Each structure stands twice: as C-alpha cells, then as structure tokens.
Structure 1
Amino acid sequence: MPDYTPDIYVAVSVTLSAAAFALVLRLYARRMTKAGYSHDDFLAVVAFLGSLSYNIVTLIWSVNFGLGRPIADGPKDMSEAVRIKKARIMVFCTSVTYTFAIAFAKLAILMFYWRIFKFSAIRLAIRVLLVLTVSWFLLRLFLVTLRCVPIQALWDDSIKDAKCKIDAATFFFSTILTHVILEVAILALPVIEVARLQLPIGQKVAVISLFMFGALLASAPSANTPQGDTRLDFHLAQQKQDNTLTDPIQPRHQAVEYRKNQIKREWRVRFDTRVSLC
C-alpha cells in the first residue's frame, strides 16, 4: 500500500527550516541596521508561529495517528472508528492553524508595502486589501469553527441533533478562490510603483522579478480544490475515501505554500534595504 509519510516529513522539514532561516536573517538584519522592528516584522513572526503550529499538528497526526498511510495500517491499539475520529480532529486543527498562517503572511506583506510606499497612490489599494484580508481571515475562521453546531459534531458521529448547514465544497472553493484573488492583487500592487523608479531597464526588471517571486504561489492553492476538500466533509454517513491516505496531499502543499509566502516576504525586505522611494 502507498505510504506518503516520507513526503510529509520532507515537505515540513525542508521548507520549515528555510522559512525559519529567512525569518531569523530578516530580524537580524533589522537589528544590525538599527532600523528597529516594525508592524510587518511582528506580523511575520505571528505568521511563522501559525505555520509552526500547523506543522506540529501535521507531524503529530503522521506519527501518532497514521497520516500518510491507509486507515487499516494505522495505530494497532486503536479501532478504525477511533482512527477516523482522530484524523477528523487533526484536520480541524490544521484548518485553523493554516488560516492564521496564510492570513498573517498576507498582512505582513501589506504592512511592508505600507511602510516603504509612504507617498504612493497605491496606499489606498493597500488599505482596501488590508480590509479584505482581515475579512477573509475572520470569515474563514468563523466558517471553519462553526461548520457544525456543536463543533464536536465535526468529528463525533454520535451527535445526532447536530446542525451542519455549511456545504464543504462551496466553503472551501469560495475561500480558496478569494485567497488566490487576494494573492494576485498583492503581487501586482508594487509593480506600478517600481515601474516609475528612475532605474536602468535591467535593474527595473530585476526588482519587479523580485516582487513577483511570489507568483510561485499561484499553483499552491490548487491543492485545495473542492474535489480535494470534499473528502473532508465530516458528516457523510459513509467515509468514501481513506482520508489518512489522501489528506497528506493537502498538508504537503499547504506547508510549501506558506513557506513560499514567507520567503517571498523576506526577499522583499532585501528590496527595502536597497531602494529609497519618495
């Protein structure tokens, strides 16, 4: 039978190490230049803590509850029903921590823009995207935690009078679609300002390319399509797919997605130390 456990360990360890290294360099550079810490630095730390929590949950799920392996190959001291219940709890925890990691990564980038583009026409667009990002964060967090009332019904099938009125496919598709739209808008924001800089064409292209480093993110949310997330609908009478075997695809892509967000953010800090905007 397939075993995705090594894939999970690689996706978590390699990208988490790279993101931690980038964050440490960022904070050290701010201290070394005596520039002081700003709001975007604190938001970056919160985003990293959210990602760290996400990956801790993923590793706990993999080590203790069989993520990456078929349900039948899970812990032998648990019945299949208990394994499925534990998997559903882990999915809920990763959904919450993923929301924090992605939202605060976006906010850190937007606050970085706010700091360096002090006299720019795009500040209005930055305000709008800040409001939309906070709204996305609160809405997704609200829907994740209240998909069922009581919340325990997400993983406990014995609760018969539970109310679960939020369609899983619609929820995940709508939040992922808005996530991608916000990401594209955030990527596009600085291009106009950079194009106006008095720089040689080669340097201008290099700077724009630096800002557009985050374009790699465009492929990451595709791991979270409705087809993938409908298998996380906890309220089906019959479990149609083995979610400990199929769900590793999602944590693997989400782990990489957040880390690309953070590395993209740290690359842009390098721009802050090289270009003075007025």
Structure 2
Amino acid sequence: MSEEDVTTDVGAIVVVLAAIAVGLRFYSRYFTKAGFKWDDWLVLVALVATILTDVLVLYATSVNPDGAEVASNTDPNYQYTPADVEFTKLSYIGTVLYFTITSATKVSILLMYNRLFSVDISFRRQVIIVAVAVAGFWIGCTVADLLNCIPLEWTWNNALDDPRYCFNYNIFWLTSGIVEACLDIVIIIMPVRVVIGLNLNKSKKLAVAGVFLLGVL
C-alpha cells in the first residue's frame, strides 16, 4: 500500500469517526430535549467542510494521481497540463476550507465553555476575547489565502510562486500554523483554572481537568 493510500484511508476513518461523534452529539441533545445551540451548529459546519474537503482531495487525486508532486514542482520551465491545473484548483479550494474547519471547531469549543462556566464572569470575558482572536484568525487567513496571488489564476498557472504575483506560501502556512497552535494551547488550558476553583476534592479536580486536557490528543 502506497503512502498516498495510507493517508487517504486514515483521512476517511477520521471523517467517519467525526461524523459519528457529531451525530451522537445531536442525537443526545435531541433525546434530552436540551435544544441545539450555536456550538452544535458550528461543529456541524466544521464537519460538512471537512467532508467537502475530503471529497475535493479524492476527486483531485483521481483526476491527476501525480498532482501532489506537480504542485511542489520547482522547475520554472514546467508547463502545467489541464489535469495539473484542475488538481491545483481543487486543492486550493481545500486550503481555503481548512480555515473554516479549524476555526469553526475552535469557536464551537469556546461557546461550549461559555455554557458550562456561565457563572464565572471573568471566564466569560476570556471566552469573548479568545473568540474574537479566533474570528480574526479565521477571516484574516481566509482572505490572505484568497488573495495569495493577484491575479488569482497564477495560483494554478505557475509552477513557482512568482514574487511579482504571489506571496511566499510557505511562510504563510508556517505563520498561520504557529498562530493556530498558540490559540489551541490557550483554548485547551482555559478551563483548567476554573476546574481548580471548583469545590471538589483533589482527585475529582484532576479527573475533570483531565477530560478537558484530552483535547491535547
């Protein structure tokens, strides 16, 4: 089995597990008559965007099995074929959707925190601040990705990122990745302070904090 096949299979398994988890979440909310909140709908948005991205990637690979190698080609004289162009277009759409997947998930978690710890005013303020930061990351990265080349067709017409038309995509992904990792760390550790302040014994506090820290995985 090739590396591409392994990646595809793992991706499919992750999507199936995510769909099951979201389905169970909606079922439990409906069964308990708790009603659906904004955090539920945002998770659904993230799931739909994930499925759409996987479908685009699978279709792009079927159109051009060598598309990933072509996309990273550094030969300035290489001329893209129609199949290369279609692969790059579909992959590009997937990169735009990526920020919707990750950011919608982050905001959903923050809204869930807001529901669980609504009595803590200072924590709610923290939630708002981090949510605004995530929204800024979402909008900023999406717009930057959409404007990575001007005119946009240079995204799929040129084997190299010509500095006359495109910014450095590698630096963009590195920077956005660092910012995203920082946001993830903040979101993961946010509820720990609240849990420590709960009127529980030490073992129960550790157990509750452990549940939230599972997000590290």
Output the TM-score relative to the length of structure 1. 0.69
Tell me what 2:58 maps to: 59
Deviation at 1:122, TM superposition (A): 1.2
Give 1:80 deviation, angstroms: 6.3
SS at match of 1:100: helix
Q: Which has the higher contact order (CA 8 A, sep 6+)?
A: 1
Equivalent position of 1:85 in the other structure: 85
* C-alpha spacing 1:18/1:203, structure 2 compared with 1 (3 Å): same
**In 2, Cα distance between the equivalents of 1:68 and 1:5?**
12
Shift of 1:83: 3.6
- 1:9 corresponds to which residue? 8
Distance across 1 between alignment mates of 2:4 and 2:167: 31
Per the alignment, residue 168 of structure 1 pairs with 169
Judged with a 3 Å threshold, the aligned counterparts in structure 2 of structure 1 residues 172 and 65 are, in CA distance, closer, same or farther, namely same
Question: Among the aligned pairs, what percent are the same residue?
Answer: 23
- The equivalent of 2:189 in structure 1 is 188
Q: In the alignment, is the contact (CA less than 8 A) between 2:63 and 2:83 conserved in 1?
A: no
Conserved 8 A contact 1:51-1:101: yes
RMSD: 2.3
CA distance in 2, matches of 1:134, 1:91: 23
Letter in 1 for 2:105: A
After superposition, residues 123-134 of structure 1 pair within 5 angstroms as 123-134=124-135
The aligned residue for residue 158 of structure 2 is: 157
Query: Residue by residue, what CA displacement relative to the aligned partner does 1:62-106 show, whole Å, maximum 9, x if unpaired?
Result: 2222158766xxxxxxx9633432332132111011111011001
- The structural deviation recorded for 1:115 is 1.3
Alignment of structure 1 residues 1-278 onto 2, 5 Å: 3-66=2-65, 81-120=81-120, 121-157=122-158, 163-216=164-217
Cα separation, partners in 2 of 1:63 and 1:45, compared to 1, 3 Å = same
Give distance in 2, aligned partners of 1:215 and 1:142.
Answer: 28
Change in Cα spacing, 1:69 to 1:112, as seen in structure 2 (3 Å) is closer
Contact 1:5/1:62, CA 8 A, preserved across alignment: no
Q: Which residue of 1 aligns with 2:73?
A: none
Q: Which runs of 5+ in 2 are unaligned?
A: 71-78
Structure 1 stretch 58-67 or stretch 42-51: which is displaced more? 58-67
Distance 1:34 1:10, change over 3 A: same
Q: Residue 153 of structure 2 aligns to a residue in which SS? A: helix
Structure 1 pair 178/60, CA: closer, same or farther in 2 (3 Å)?
same
Which amino acid in 2 is paired with 1:36? Answer: G
| Structure 2 length-normalised TM | 0.87
- Separation of aligned partners in 1, 2:43 and 2:81: 39
Structure 1 unaligned regions, length at least 5: 72-78, 217-278
**CA 24–194 in structure 1, closer or farther in 2 if over 3 Å, else same:** same
In 1, distance between residues paired with 2:33 and 2:158?
56
Deviation for aligned residue 1:4 = 2.4
Say whether the 8 Å CA contact 2:67–2:84 is kept in structure 1: no
